[in-house]
Chains A and B, each alone.
Chain A
Amino acid sequence: QSVLTQPPSVSGAPGQRVTISCTGSSSNIGAGYDVHWYQQLPGTAPKLLIYGNSNRPSGVPDRFSGSKSGTSASLAITGLQAEDEADYYCQSYDSSWVFGGGTKLTVL
């Protein structure tokens, strides 16, 4: 049972927009801690996708965006592409570093 809750899977057709939610509580996201997102392509290490709720590291396309409100956060991907098929994890802090259970994105 992860501290942060994500849907196990989402899917969308190429070109569509999908969102992945990350639900926490008053001891983590709701306490004001930032939410960060990672993309893990099949068979590879996680890669930082969004940091500080809504900031993209250099090289991350602006098709990826993040937001946070209250005790939840979300990752939005617009103009879905086949290469976006991956596992996505949210991460925050709750007395230690905590992750969501991960969401598998399938591009139909």
Chain B
Amino acid sequence: QVQLVESGGGVVQPGGSLRLSCAASGFTFSSYGMHWVRQAPGKGLEWVAFIRYDGSNKYYADSVKGRFTISRDNSKNTLYLQMNSLRAEDTAVYYCAKDPMPVVPAAMPDYFDYWGQGTLVTVSS
């Protein structure tokens, strides 16, 4: 069965950095695009970033562009989110989520068929 397990969250000061990881299992990780989606405390869902199955294309929400970097290591079945210049408004639970279609050549306007349990990032002094 598909499993996505996030890690790396914690408390960081404004302006600081953090790297999140998402370990994937139960499917051919290297064939699927992957996303990061976040949820601020008591708030709704916000898409953050997407990476193509082979890592060749990456897309970001305007709110994180230039500060966050999504990447993946298909040999380790792991997705990453490097977060720099963190702000209070980045405080949220960060979920990794899987794209439903394999080996898609471009970012498709699709949905998220599996989600991890999330990892909490708190940006506070």
**Which A positions have Cβ atoms within 8 angstroms of B?**
2, 33-34, 36, 38, 44-48, 51-52, 57, 89, 91-93, 96-102
Contact = CB atoms under 8 A, between A and B. Distances in A.
A99 B40 CA distance: 14
Nearest to B60: A96
B47 A48 contact: no
Contacts of B61: 96
B116 A45 contact: yes
Contacts of B35: 97
A92 B45 CA distance: 12
B47 A99 contact: yes
Interface stretch (B19-27, B66-74, B81-89, B107-115): B107-115
B117 A97 contact: no
Interface of B: 35, 37, 44-47, 50, 59, 61, 95, 100, 109-118
A46 B45 contact: yes
Given A45-B95, A51-B100, A98 B47 contact: yes
A2 B47 CA distance: 12
A34 B111 CA distance: 9
Contacts of A93: 109-110
B118 to A, nearest CB: 6
A61 to B, nearest CB: 18
A33 to B, nearest CB: 5
A2 B114 CA distance: 23
Nearest to A6: B44
Contact of B109 (A33, A46, A89): A33
Nearest to A28: B109
